[in-house]
C-alpha cells in the first residue's frame, strides 16, 4: 500500500492523493532515506520514531529481508514467477531486479493501491529482455481483482509455482477484514510448490507503554495510520498448512542474514517477524 512527489503524478487523479495526511508508503520511503514523501509523512515518521527510536533500522532490515527472500526463492527454490502485493515506492533492489539478476527470465507482478506507487510504476516495469513485469492498481483486500486482472493473467502462469510476497503489508489489514482469509484465498489460487514470503510488525519487543500506544492507535486509527501489530503466534497463523523453511519464523534481521554486515540488529531494535514457507 503506497505514493509519490510533486511532478511525478502524471496520469494519476489528483483527488486520490491527499498530501496533508501521512501515508504508510511515503512514511516508509522517508525512513529509507527516499525523497518521495511530504511534510505530513515526515512529521508522522518522526513522531513514531520518538516512541520507537530504531524504526528506521526496522524499515531498512525489512527491505533487506525482502531482497534475501527473493534471492532464496530465485536461487535455491527455483521460483521464476513473483506476485508482490503491497509493493511500495520503488527503491533499490526491487523484487524484479533481485530475481532477474539471478534468473533473467523471471516474471513479476506488482500490486499496490497507492496512487503515487502508480505514478512510479514505470520504474517497476524495466524488465530484462527475457522476463516480464507488470503493475496492478489494486488492494490486498480485493484478491479477486488481483487474481483475475488481465495483467496478472498475461504475466503469470498460475499453473506454475509462484512466490507470493506480502512484505510489511499484512499489519495494515485489521482483524475485521480477516487477513487470514485473504492470504488463504491467494494461496488457494497458487499451485503446489509455490511459496509465501511475509513480514509483520510486532509489539512483543516494545516497552509496555509503547506497545499499548500502538494497540490504542490501531483501535482508533490514530494520527499515524492504522498499524495492527501482532504476536508471533498470530503471525504464525498466516503459514498454517505450509512448510516453513529454515530458520523458521524469526526476526527479519536474522533470517538467512549470514552475509549481511555484522553484528546484526537485535530483535528488539527491529520488532518485525519474517518467514518463508512452501505450499505443499
Residue 239 confidence class, pLDDT cut points 50, 70, 90 = very high
Residue 224 has pLDDT above 60, yes or no: no
Dihedral sign for Cα 173, 178, 181, 185, please. Answer: negative
CA atoms within 13 A on the CB side of 56: 13
Average pLDDT over residues 201-208: 87
Residue 28 confidence class, pLDDT cut points 50, 70, 90 = confident
User: What is the Cα–Cα distance from 81 to 158, expressed in whole angstroms?
Assistant: 9
User: What is the Cα–Cα distance from 52 to 257, expressed in whole angstroms?
Assistant: 23
What letter would DSSP give residue 180? H
Peptide bond into 205 cis (omega under 30): no
Residue 92 confidence class, pLDDT cut points 50, 70, 90 = confident
Average pLDDT, the chain: 87
Residue 11 confidence class, pLDDT cut points 50, 70, 90 = very low
Residue 68 confidence class, pLDDT cut points 50, 70, 90 = very high
Query: Which pLDDT score, from 0 to 100, does residue 248 have?
Result: 98
Query: Which pLDDT score, from 0 to 100, does residue 216 have?
Result: 67
Residue 13 has pLDDT above 50, yes or no: no
Q: Which comes out higher in pLDDT, residue 50 or 248?
A: 248
137 strand-pairing partners: 112
Q: Which comes out higher in pLDDT, residue 12 or 80?
A: 80
Query: Which pLDDT score, from 0 to 100, does residue 41 have?
Result: 85
Q: For the chain, what's the residue count? A: 280
Nearest-Å Rg of the Cα atoms of the chain is: 18
User: What is the Cα–Cα distance from 32 to 91, expressed in whole angstroms?
Assistant: 9
What pTM, to 2 d.p., does this model score? 0.87
Query: Which pLDDT score, from 0 to 100, does residue 182 have?
Result: 98
Q: Which comes out higher in pLDDT, residue 159 or 125?
A: 159
**N- to C-terminal Cα distance for the chain?**
29
Beta strands in the chain (DSSP E): 81-85, 107-112, 132-137, 163-167, 195-201, 243-244, 250-251, 272-278
Are 66 and 165 contacting, i.e. CB atoms less than 8 angstroms apart? yes
Residue 64 confidence class, pLDDT cut points 50, 70, 90 = very high
CA of residue 25 relative to chain centroid, distance: 10
Residues near 102 by beta carbon (within 8 Å), at least 6 away in sequence? 71, 74, 75
Name the percent of the chain lying above pLDDT 90.
61
DSSP per residue over 41-84, as a string? HHHHHHHHHHHSTTHHHHHHHHHHHHHHHHHHHHHTS---EEEE
Residues near 127 by beta carbon (within 8 Å), at least 6 away in sequence? 96, 100, 108, 133
User: What is the Cα–Cα distance from 42 to 28, expressed in whole angstroms?
Assistant: 10
The candidate with the shortest Cα–Cα distance to 200, out of 175, 238, 235, is 235
Domains of the chain: 61-278 (3.40.50.150)
Average pLDDT over residues 174-191: 96
Residue that the C-alpha cell 503466534 belongs to: 233
134 strand-pairing partners: 109
Amino acid at each position: 500500500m503506497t505514493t509519490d512527489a510533486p511532478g511525478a503524478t502524471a496520469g494519476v487523479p489528483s483527488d486520490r492523493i491527499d498530501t496533508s495526511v501521512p501515508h504508510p508508503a511515503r512514511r516508509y520511503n522517508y525512513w529509507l532515506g527516499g525523497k518521495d514523501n511530504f511534510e505530513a509523512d515526515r512529521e508522522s515518521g518522526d513522531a513514531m520514531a520518538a516512541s520507537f527510536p530504531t524504526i528506521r533500522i526496522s524499515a531498512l532490515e525489512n527491505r533487506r529481508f525482502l531482497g534475501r527472500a527473493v534471492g532464496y526463492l530465485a536461487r535455491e527454490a527455483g521460483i521464476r514467477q513473483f506476485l508482490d502485493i503491497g509493493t511500495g515506492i520503488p527503491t533499490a533492489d526491487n523484487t524484479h531486479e533481485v530475481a532477474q539478476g539471478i534468473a533473467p527470465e523471471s516474471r513479476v507482478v506488482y500490486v499496490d493501491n497507492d496512487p503515487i506507487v502508480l505514478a512510479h510504476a514505470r520504474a517497476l516495469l524495466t524488465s530484462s529482455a527475457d522476463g516480464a513485469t507488470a503493475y496492478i492498481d489494486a488492494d490486498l483486500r480485493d484478491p479477486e481483482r488481483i487474481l483475475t486482472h488481465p495483467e496478472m493473467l498475461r504475466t503469470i502462469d498460475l499453473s506454475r509455482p509462484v512466490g507470493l510476497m506480502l512484505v510489511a503489508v499484512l499489519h495494515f489489514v485489521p482483524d475485521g477484514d480477516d487477513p487470514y482469509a485473504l492470504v488463504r484465498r491467494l494461496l488457494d489460487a497458487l499451485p503446489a510448490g509455490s511459496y509465501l514470503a511475509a513480514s509483520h510488525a510486532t509489539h512483543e519487543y516494545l516497552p509496555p507503554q509503547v506497545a499499548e500506544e500502538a494497540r490504542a492507535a490501531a483501535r482508533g486509527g490514530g494520527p499515524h495510520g492504522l498499524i495492527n501489530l501482532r504476536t508471533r503466534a498470530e503471525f504464525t497463523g498466516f503459514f498454517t498448512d505450509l512448510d516453513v523453511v529454515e530458520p523458521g519464523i524469526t526476526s527479519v534481521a536474522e533470517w538467512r542474514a549470514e552475509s549481511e554486515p555484522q553484528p546484526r540488529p537485535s530483535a528488539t531494535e527491529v520488532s518485525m517477524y519474517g518467514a518463508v514457507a512452501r505450499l505443499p
